[in-house]
């Protein structure tokens, strides 16, 4: 829905600029969200997908629906550094180079653009993402003949005002530049709105509260929320291959409040089944007061416990983000608790004999 630097595709001025640079007419309307794409694929209206560096077959909500949608595609391409749940559905897998195997830049969440240099050659048939895209585009009729990542960065700087001065030669020293960096002389912007807000004071707007699409009820009395763990990231495609990180969080768990656990006769580390209206998973318990009563928490990094089989695909009307944090579920204990047997002292019947 946006070009580089948050320039929207619906902005005629921005669109004309990119059309002149690329010599092609560009769409005037915003595209589909990830959720929309899966729905269209399920309906048979979307025939092909190209997934690059993502794993929607583990990260999207209502995975049973997503798996069915992926299975209905005529053609699926996956471009990634490791095989994952999504590549299992692919017709073609394009092996990509990892961070140490390619040149380019990274922009982090503090707006800092940093240069990276290739440390080792890619293994096997792996290639840098930009090389794959350029080769594929050329074969499909639109030639891309960049001589290196520095030329791609020059094009980004030319077409993106906030990146106007972030050229490779300026990134070679120090710790990079923070956008906005609008010219070759600009020092970058360590702090936004340092002296004044760019568009004046913020406008406060009251909004109407919208309740969860699926609150707990009698049939599904618990609220499930999902999230991340400190040592892992997203679907674990990379970090779960790291011995040190995997050692810290070796398996999935469900956090349950002690009072809820007691009411269900559940002990710590016992096996339970968590079910929603969309699916079920089996997982070990972690009884803790971190989680309030009536709420349970499951991290979503683990393919063995694909918690998004449970989550609700309902989306926020503005942000279009699914309700990963609110989902009605029920809990069923699977581990039979051992009953304590009272010890009966051994008695010699001969000693009790009456003579």
SS (H, E, C) 244-279: HHHHHCCCCCEEECHHHHHHCCCCCCCEEEEECCCC
Residue in the block written with tokens 């902005």:
11
CA distance 202 to 212: 28
Give just the sign of the alpha carbon dihedral 52, 57, 62, 66.
positive
**Measuring CA to CA, which residue among 125, 149, 146 is closest to residue 137?**
146
What pLDDT does 319 receive? 85
pLDDT for the residue numbered 355: 38
Integer Cα distance of 319 and 234 in angstroms: 20
3-state DSSP helix/strand/coil percent for the chain, to nearest 5?
25, 20, 55
User: What was the pLDDT predicted at 350?
Assistant: 47
Amino acid 354: pLDDT: 46
Residues of the chain predicted below pLDDT 70 = 335-355
Q: Residue 245 contacts by C-beta under 8 Å, 6 or more apart in sequence?
A: 231, 232, 239
pLDDT at res. 209: 87
Written in H, E and C, the secondary structure of 7-27 is EECCCHHHHHHHHHHHCCCCC
Question: Whose CA is closest to 127, among 59, 52, 50, 75?
Answer: 52
Return the pLDDT at 95.
98
3-state DSSP assignment of residue 171:
helix
pLDDT at 353: 44
Residue 1 · residue 31 · CB < 8 Å: yes
Q: How far apart are the first and last CA of the chain?
A: 100
Q: What structural domains does the chain harbor?
A: 2-178 (3.40.50.740), 222-333 (2.40.40.20)
For residues 13 and 17, give the distance between their C-alpha atoms in angstroms, rounded to a whole number: 6
């Amino acid at each position: 829905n946006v070009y580089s630097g948050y320039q929207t595709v619906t902005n005629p001025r921005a669109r004309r600029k990119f059309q002149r640079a690329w010599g092609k007419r560009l769409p005037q309307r915003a595209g589909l969200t990830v959720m929309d794409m899966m729905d269209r694929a399920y309906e048979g209206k979307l025939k092909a997908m190209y997934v690059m560096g993502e794993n929607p077959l583990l990260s999207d909500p209502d995975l049973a629906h997503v798996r069915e949608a992926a299975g209905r595609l005529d053609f699926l391409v996956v471009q990634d550094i490791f095989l994952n749940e999504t590549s299992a559905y692919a017709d073609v897998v394009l092996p990509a180079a990892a961070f140490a195997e390619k040149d380019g830049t990274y922009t982090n969440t503090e707006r800092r653009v940093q240069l990276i240099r290739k440390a080792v050659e890619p293994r096997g048939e792996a290639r840098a993402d930009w090389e794959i895209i350029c080769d594929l585009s050329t074969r499909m009729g639109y030639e891309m003949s960049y001589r290196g990542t520095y030329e791609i960065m020059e094009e980004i700087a030319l077409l993106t005002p906030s990146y106007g001065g972030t050229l490779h030669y300026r990134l070679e020293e120090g710790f990079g530049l923070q956008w906005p960096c609008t010219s070759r002389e600009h020092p970058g912007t360590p702090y936004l709105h340092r002296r004044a807000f760019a568009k004046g004071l913020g406008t406060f707007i009251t909004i109407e509260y919208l309740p969860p699409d699926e609150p707990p009820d009698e049939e599904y009395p618990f609220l499930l929320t999902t999230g991340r763990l400190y040592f892992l990231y997203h679907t674990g495609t990379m970090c779960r291959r790291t011995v040190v990180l995997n050692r810290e969080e070796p398996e999935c768990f469900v956090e349950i409040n002690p009072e809820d656990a007691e009411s269900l006769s559940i002990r710590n580390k016992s096996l339970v089944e968590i079910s929603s209206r969309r699916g079920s998973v089996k997982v070990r318990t972690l009884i803790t007061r971190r989680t309030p009563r009536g709420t349970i928490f499951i991290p979503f990094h683990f393919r063995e416990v694909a918690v998004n089989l449970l989550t609700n695909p309902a989306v926020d009307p503005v942000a279009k983000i699914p309700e990963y944090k609110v989902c009605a579920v029920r809990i069923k204990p699977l581990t039979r608790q051992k009953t304590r047997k009272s010890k009966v002292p051994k008695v010699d019947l001969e000693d009790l004999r009456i003579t």
